[in-house]
Structure 1
Amino acid sequence: MSTLGSYLHRHPRLRLAGLLSAPLLWLVVAYLGALAVLLVSAFWTVNGFTGDVVREFSLANFRTLITEEVYRNVALRSLGVATAVTVICVVIAVPMAFFMAKVASPRSRHWLVIAILTPLWASYLVKAYAWRILLANGGPVDSLLGGPGSGPGYGLVATVIVLSYLWLPYMILPIYAGLERLPDSLLEASADLGARAGRTFRSVVLPTLVPSVFAGSIFTFSLSLGDYITVQIVGGKSQLIGNLVYANIGAANNLPFAAAIATVPVLIMVIYLLAVRRSGALEEL
């Protein structure tokens, strides 16, 4: 062991390779390997008579996704829900994060961070079913808004509300971290030079805020785009991409078509990441 330790000490690159071998192996096999299998199986088909998977290259699944209007509508609906959730989270998170980073005292700041993190410790299903009770016909939300039927009920609006609640911490924390790194002296210098609040926000705060917002949007957008549990619980009859994948894995037993549908959010996220990488969002994660 002493000889091995001395050898590794003289070869730092070999030592680094040994330390990274296990996590890299896990990444390649469990993550990239799963994506590769997903992509390959998306080009297979299912025999309509026997139900067996035909492992031959075919574009039939993708042709169906493009030509059938119902699948295009579901993809656009999922994209709209993910965008709406992201916008709502940004609108709520920016003032909250700014207050935490620049207005609250250092002691209060720690407690506020804990308060933001606390919902993440609760079970996803518990939070989703709690919202199902709140949004039920004649439930607390209806009573608050004027009686049975006054609230949003179950559907796309309820899905957006619940997803916004679930993923809001993932937007607040990156924005808070970015604003906390903004020196207070820059805000004071802007005020000393006669800049009003709007000019200070545009010239000083916004350049720091934009990368953090994009960093948070990577979480809120991707998590909303692929979610299917919330839609099952509060979405009513609404269908999103995740529901189609689940339906084709279960009742339809069409794994190749489910894989083809699952490549849609993957492709959308790849395009989104390529679009926002120049904003510095990836450095904020």
Structure 2
Amino acid sequence: MSTRRARARLGVLLGPPMVWLGVAYLGSLAALFVTALWTQNGFTGEIERVWTLDSFKTLFTVDVYRTIALRTVGVALLVTVIDAVVAFPIAMYMSKVAGPGLRRFLLVAVLMPLWASYLVKAYAWRGMFSEGGLVSSAFEAVGLKSPGYGLTATVVTLAYLWLPYMILPIYAGLERLPNSLLEASADLGGRTLQTLRRIVLPTIVPAMVAGSIFTFSLTLGDYIAVRIVGGTNQLLGNVVYDNVGAANNLPFAAAVATIPVVVMVVYLAAVRRTGAMESL
């Protein structure tokens, strides 16, 4: 009887979230894929619920859309690499060097940017990249031309926005690394770089991959930061936005939106073997 009651309580607790996942989340994805198979009447602009692959044919045959897709994946990879390189020393210092008080302060400092609005942070970077801004002035001070608005500003802004999502998983992975391993490596004559390469990095690879899932996926679907600091450069999110808004071509927008979904499914399948899912 107690077992039945426990199962009933578990069902009551997990029932609503599972219904939400199945109906709202998976249902919306199914609606997305179905809409991508419809078409838009070229004269009336109305959506015709006729099964066709015209949207996907346009997506893969028009050069500009292939370029945008490759640019989006490239930007997502570059943002992920930048965040990993920046996040590792920060997380290493927080977990293995800083004292308890300083560690708590640094954790709050890492989380603090998440308390600010996404738009506020994006427009702050727009101000810094504008003429007379902090970034522009720094480049001019050393005799270099400011990057201004464009792909460079987009990468820098997105890397800043998603950096906490890389720091926290790496920090959690380093926290699970016993200090005794580092001490044993030092006792055996291992140098700092050898210890990092042979002990630390192999241990935190799953945590780093877990952080990359956030940075990579968030960059793939972003369009607001690109519109604010990207200038004329477009990513897939902007194509979806333009076709939902001005063009009102929902089937083609849905077809474009399937690309990040497919890319993330392939990426998750590739990293599943690294144990990154357990580090989330």
Of 146-155 and 166-175, the range deviating more from structure 2: 146-155
Q: Percent identity?
A: 63
Q: TM-score with structure 1 length normalisation?
A: 0.95
| Equivalent residue number for residue 179 of structure 2 | 184
Of 237-246 and 187-196, the range deviating more from structure 2: 187-196
Cα distance, 1:222 vs structure 2: 0.6
The whole-number CA distance in structure 2 between the counterparts of 1:192 and 1:139 is: 50
Note if contact 1:9-1:15 (Cα within 8 Å) is conserved in structure 2: no
Note if contact 1:137-1:149 (Cα within 8 Å) is conserved in structure 2: no
Asked whether 1:156 is paired with 2:151, we answer yes
The whole-number CA distance in structure 2 between the counterparts of 1:185 and 1:206 is: 16
**Over the residues paired in the alignment, what is the CA RMSD in angstroms?**
1.4
Asked whether 1:55 is paired with 2:81, we answer no
Asked whether 1:93 is paired with 2:87, we answer yes
Q: How does 1:244-259 map to 2 (within 5 A)?
A: 244-259=239-254
Cα distance, 1:24 vs structure 2: 0.6
Equivalent pairs counted in the alignment come to 279
The whole-number CA distance in structure 2 between the counterparts of 1:8 and 1:20 is: 18
Q: Structure 2 residue aligned with 1:19, among 13, 16, 28?
A: 13
| Equivalent residue number for residue 209 of structure 1 | 204
| Equivalent residue number for residue 240 of structure 1 | 235
Q: Structure 1 residue aligned with 2:124, among 121, 130, 138?
A: 130
Q: TM-score with structure 2 length normalisation?
A: 0.96
Cα distance, 1:9 vs structure 2: 6.0
Gapped regions of structure 2 (runs ≥ 5): none
The whole-number CA distance in structure 2 between the counterparts of 1:69 and 1:10 is: 60
**Quick one: which amino acid aligns to residue 227 of structure 1?**
D
The whole-number CA distance in structure 2 between the counterparts of 1:274 and 1:209 is: 19
The whole-number CA distance in structure 1 between the counterparts of 2:149 and 2:31 is: 36
| Equivalent residue number for residue 167 of structure 2 | 172
Cα distance, 1:52 vs structure 2: 1.1
| Equivalent residue number for residue 267 of structure 1 | 262
Cα distance, 1:139 vs structure 2: 2.0
